[in-house]
Chains A and B, each alone.
Chain A
Amino acid sequence: MRTSYQRPQAAIAPTFRGAASALAATAALAMAALHLGGNAQAGQEAGSDAEPVRSQALFLTAKRLIVSPGNVLENASVLVEDGKITAVGTDLKAPEGAQAIQGEVICAAFMDPWSTAGFDTGSVNSRDLNAATMATDALDPYGEKAVLEELAASGVLLTRSQVGLASDISGFGAVLRTPSAEVVLEDASMSAAIGAESPGFSPDQFGGRGGPQGFSFGPQSIDPIDRIGQIDKLVSELAAGQKYAEDMAEYEKELAEWKAAIADKEKELEDDFKKAKKAREKAVKDAEEDGEEVKEKKYKEDRRPREPRYDAEKAAFARVVQGEVPMVVHAERALEIRDLLRSTEPFKRLRLVIAGGTSALACKKELRERGVTVIVAPSPANPGGPVGELDPGLSLAAELDAAGVNVLIGTGNASALASRDLPLLAALAVGHGLDRDTALRAITSGPAATFDVADQVGTVKRGHAADLLVLSGDPLSSSSRVLAAISGGAVVPQATK
């Protein structure tokens, strides 16, 4: 029973001992084709299996090893064992039995900070979500394999995925290891959208992001008054979260005080018990003599403070206002971005991320001062962008970066397939003035840092999870190929054609 289309097997080089010197990747590939035996055979068997095989060590070698954007080692190697990077350096030797893979360049896997990959379309397009919704509940391990293969083939092995692109507030997004739908961090972000429209509803000329599936998000089709209302609603949710957090802290404080007071009281009562008992015995005796009922002394104490009523949505926003979870808001227009910045001013610990941000240049100063990150989605399909006003087109990322704003590059499309174009979009941004290292950072270590997974992924460091690419050329060159994609320490067999 065949369920999914299987690509031809990956061309993985067998162990080349002492071949760490400059062996062109193409040559390595040719040799792999000739010497299909030994480890390559093992790799092939592993490839036909659905579960990634992690036990085998990997030894990756390349002319350039991009540890992090701007930090390059020449003729260096990476050793991967048990899913982790265990060594990075220029003088490493391949251990016995390790599978060797060679290429021109090694870099961290690309991470799309604004994607829907991994989740079922019903949940992605749902409008019935709330702040307490977990996107990971919509994980679809049986989703279209072909899409995930396309993503892997373009080097996008990590995503910060969310559901409810059409929902005002859509709950917690997650960082996923896309090829295996493995969750790296389940509460990586809170997502909201200003002026979102359900996909397929607004015609394409309003221009969403024109993904390959033709889905689009036309912010135009929602009235400006409604958009202001959406901002108000979002801010009031944040305020409710703030209040909830304060009430909780207050309650905990009061409770501690009450407990201490009661403990003191209890001790006092215990100490006085003998006296009290004697007094009572006397009272009982007196009452009996008088033929009356014993009148007990009335006991009084402070009541236990009451816990604020649990509310899942407020609790979620409480985490957001306290800066535990960054909040991604899809907003395109200058007015909305400015309004959003102004009205979220009181929430000092809020970690705001603007997604889309076509007209973000109008507020570049505030964005820089507030430390707001912008996920730019350069769209070659719609010159002029979805808004039209103040739209710098493909140079947005460069201009924001020049203004000192932290820039990431993402795709933001209801179709998971859109994430495939991530490296090309980064390359386009370079073509329009963005610094090459900044562009690479915007799709590797930048998203990892923004969404709190920088200690696991995003850079090639010892101890990090092995989410790596071996490429035939520069990561941001459209003519570079993925020679091997390593996700969580396992070679993704479908990534290489």
Chain B
Amino acid sequence: MSFTTSFQNTRSGRALLSAASRLSMGATVLGAAALFVAPVHASAQVAKTAIKAGKVITLNGEPIENGIIIIEGGRVTAVGSQEDVQIPWDAEVVDQPGMTAFPGFVESHVSRGIDRENETLDVAPFLNVRDSIDPVNFYFEDALRNGIVVMNVQQGNDTVVAGQGMVVKPYGMTVESMMVKPRAGIKMSAAPKRGKSRATQAQALRGAFEDLKRYLDEMVQRKKDGDDYDRREALYQGRELEGEAAKGKALQSEAWTIEGFERIPRGEVDEKQEPLLHVIEGKMPVFMWCGSAADVHTALRVADTNGFTKHMTLVLDNSCWKAAPKIKAAGVSVILEDNLAHRERDPITGEEIETFVPKVFHDAGVPFALSSSTDSNRSLWFQAAQCVAAGIPREAALAAATSVPASILGLSDRVGALKSGADGHVVLFSGDPLSVTSVVEHVILDGVHVYDRSKDVRVQQLTDGTRPPGTVAEEPEEYEGDGEDDSDNQ
């Protein structure tokens, strides 16, 4: 016994050593990287932050003039007027009397910030965008400039069943440090993937679930056969059958029944099949892309058959507004693309008909979220402003970029409003968040001051042409030939 222990000690000691050496190497690399993406204030260790702003838009009640937000340990602990809220003596104070504090926008679905998306495999729910998120992707930097504080990164639309997405914040050196919610949902598509028609896309989508059902059925059958065999063997050998077989949980699906599934310990389910099992049991949200109104019908049919309608959000092309009554009846939420106006020509009269898509969903009473998935020039604040211009009430337009996406992502208590207990994200605008003349001046994420426009080198270059040191390209040296005589080639 004592021998074993000492042996283990030696081993763990060695492991410790090698870990330490790796750590020191890692630290050097991290240090180098930190030069480029370091927080504006080296305040990562400050546990308490107090933000004083001329106006605080909480999206949780009326705006507060001269308000204070206290963030402790990365969480908002108090929001109120300067008379009501006491600033702790040891808090770092950000005092901006001319600015407007805002909870920050929530991006409900985006396929940017990832290195390369899987578009080869039709059905790949076992993949995870965790493995392709690129923390230094320009998209995340730009998200800060536009006041977006969390985003749901999901694979692209060219798929049948894609991998799992992830909710992250746009700041961090590693994917782990950016992570807000690791298993945010699975991306699927009801619209034909390249090389497929609508008929074969639907066939493949249904097929993915039918395959899972067959797999589980076979698994249960095998288990049952094995148990029965064991029983007969024991009878034959004159033994009493000993021990209780390991037990799993019965299937929790609303649409499926697989008799005897409780015989299977969950650990035995193939990890490639497991994510879809979570989908049919309602434990994994689904983001379903629809490229046309007819695809909405396909999406709802597949979701209904497999019992995940309640956990599905439709990601819509702008032509899908025609399916608004159908979507309303199904009670699902939608995410709209950033081109908010849908145009089409009447096939008979040739008249061009323009439809402002968010207004259709607003009028139909369908919860809708905006998204800026393709273009930073049409970020969430701009789209929300467009909605207001098109006659949607300001609260509803703001909700479409804050509380609605937060609720779609299951993060209502964490993001989308400044309230006690929420994540410590605050965006300081120079004026009203929906005004074209306002800019994002500061962003505080989890109480850490991560963005300051006055120190944003890209903005500086844009406004006064100064380039950060070391980034000016040198004149290329003149080419002097490769030393070979041209006559050799003749």
Interface residues of A (CB under 8 A from B): 1-5, 119-120, 122-123, 126, 128-130, 132-135, 137-144, 146, 163-164, 171, 262, 265-266, 269-270, 272-273, 275-281, 296-297, 299, 301, 304, 310, 312
Contact = CB atoms under 8 A, between A and B. Distances in A.
A3 B199 contact: no
A310 B347 contact: no
Contact of B199 (A163, A276, A277): A163
B235 A278 contact: no
Nearest to A122: B197
A140 B206 CA distance: 18
B199 A134 contact: yes
Given A5-B349, A276-B235, A280-B239, 5 more contacts: A123-B197, A163-B197, A171-B199, A272-B235, A279-B238
B237 A296 contact: yes
Contact of A299 (B206, B232, B293): B232
Given A134-B199, A171-B199, A273-B238, A142 B322 contact: yes
B322 A3 contact: yes
A126 B293 contact: no
17 contacts: A2-B353, A4-B346, A122-B192, A126-B197, A128-B197, A129-B197, A134-B203, A137-B199, A137-B201, A137-B202, A140-B294, A262-B232, A266-B232, A280-B239, A299-B236, A301-B232, A312-B207
Interface string B292-310: 1110011000000000000
B138 interface: no
A138 B199 contact: yes
B349 A138 contact: no
A269 B233 CA distance: 9
Contact of B198 (A4, A137, A262, A296): A137
B200 A129 contact: yes
B207 A129 contact: no
10 smallest CB-CB distances across A and B, nearest first, come from: A276-B238, A280-B238, A137-B202, A126-B197, A269-B235, A138-B199, A277-B238, A123-B197, A299-B233, A123-B199
B407 interface: no
B198 A123 contact: yes
Nearest to B192: A122
B250 to A, nearest CB: 24
B96 interface: no
B125 to A, nearest CB: 20
Interface string B370-406: 0000000000000000000000000000000000000
A297 B203 contact: no
Interface string B240-254: 000000000000000
Contact of A301 (B203, B229, B298, B322): B229
B458 interface: no
Contacts of A278: 238
A126 B232 contact: no
Contacts of B297: 139, 141
Nearest to B230: A299
Contacts of A304: 225
Nearest to B292: A142
Interface string B330-366: 0000000000000000111100010100001000000
A138 B206 CA distance: 13
Nearest to B360: A1
B143 to A, nearest CB: 33
Contacts of A129: 197, 199-200
Residue among A171, A265, A273 with most chain B CB within 10 A: A273
A275 B229 CA distance: 20
A164 B198 CA distance: 11
B405 to A, nearest CB: 26
Contacts of A312: 207
B322 A128 contact: no
B323 interface: yes
Interface string B396-431: 000000000000000000000000000000000000
Nearest to A279: B238
A60 B300 CA distance: 38
Nearest to B225: A304
Residue among A146, A272, A296 with most chain B CB within 10 A: A296
B293 A141 contact: yes
Given A5-B348, A280-B237, A297-B237, A133 B199 contact: yes
A285 B427 CA distance: 81
B353 A120 contact: no
A146 B292 contact: no
B235 A133 contact: no
B196 interface: yes
Contacts of B233: 299
A122 B214 CA distance: 30
Contact of A5 (B192, B322, B346): B346
Nearest to B236: A299
B237 A120 contact: no
A270 B353 CA distance: 78
A228 B102 CA distance: 71
A171 B353 CA distance: 37
A3 B346 CA distance: 7
A144 B203 CA distance: 24
A138 B200 CA distance: 8
Contacts of B292: 120, 142
Contacts of A297: 236-237
Contacts of B225: 304
Given A129-B197, A137-B202, A266-B232, A144 B347 contact: yes
A187 to B, nearest CB: 13
A144 to B, nearest CB: 6
A310 B213 CA distance: 12
B341 to A, nearest CB: 12
A133 B229 CA distance: 40
Contacts of B353: 1-3
Given A5-B346, A142-B323, A280-B239, A137 B232 contact: no
B237 A146 contact: no
A296 B322 CA distance: 71
Given A3-B322, A269-B235, A280-B237, A142 B199 contact: no
Contacts of A144: 347
B199 A135 contact: yes
B465 interface: no
A297 B237 CA distance: 6
B299 to A, nearest CB: 12
Nearest to A143: B294
A140 B294 CA distance: 5
B195 interface: yes
Contacts of B236: 269, 276, 297, 299
Contacts of B232: 262, 265-266, 269, 299, 301
A34 B202 CA distance: 50
B290 to A, nearest CB: 12
Residue among B202, B236, B349 with most chain A CB within 10 A: B236
Nearest to B196: A128
Contacts of A130: 200
A321 to B, nearest CB: 21
Interface in B311-330: 322-323
A279 B233 CA distance: 15
A5 B345 CA distance: 11
Given A120-B294, A146-B348, A128 B200 contact: yes
B199 A126 contact: yes
Contacts of B237: 276, 280, 296-297, 299
Contacts of A280: 237-239
B238 A142 contact: no
B222 to A, nearest CB: 10
A255 to B, nearest CB: 11
A126 B322 CA distance: 25
Interface in B429-443: none
A132 B349 CA distance: 40
B430 to A, nearest CB: 38
A4 B347 CA distance: 8
Contacts of B238: 273, 275-281
Nearest to A144: B347
